[in-house]
Structure 1
Amino acid sequence: MIDDNEDNTALFNEIFLRHMPNYELIVCTSGEECLHHIGTITPNLILMDLQMPDISGYRLFT
């Protein structure tokens, strides 16, 4: 998950812990941090805030 809003990340973390305990939620707070993780893991799903301050969600994967 890529989001700079702490409330959003806390909510999704709670959802994952409660409803999807077999999955690991990796939280990145910037697009740059996400790019670092993408180079080391292969995620099954990416949830991203489209209006990040450093790299927009639209630009990150194009």
Structure 2
Amino acid sequence: MIKVKTFTNELKTLHTMKALDDLDTRVNTFILENSVESVISVSDTCTTGDDGTIGIIRVLAYKPS
């Protein structure tokens, strides 16, 4: 069975790279802790507000073991 997990992170000015690294760490930790057999898809999209990009949503489609 294919499952989907969504991760979100707020993006702050001048802290974008750290926010992306933190998001990567959260996703990788989820994969390790949940014994993911295979990753089918990873997709990122940005959320916007009046001041531009304010967040990121990462969707992971995977097959659990």
Fold conserved (TM > 0.5)?
A: no
Give TM class, smaller chain: 0.3 to 0.5
TM-score by length of 2: 0.32
Q: Which of structures 1 and 2 has the larger relative contact order (alpha carbons within 8 angstroms, sep 6+)?
A: 2
Larger helix fraction of residues: 1
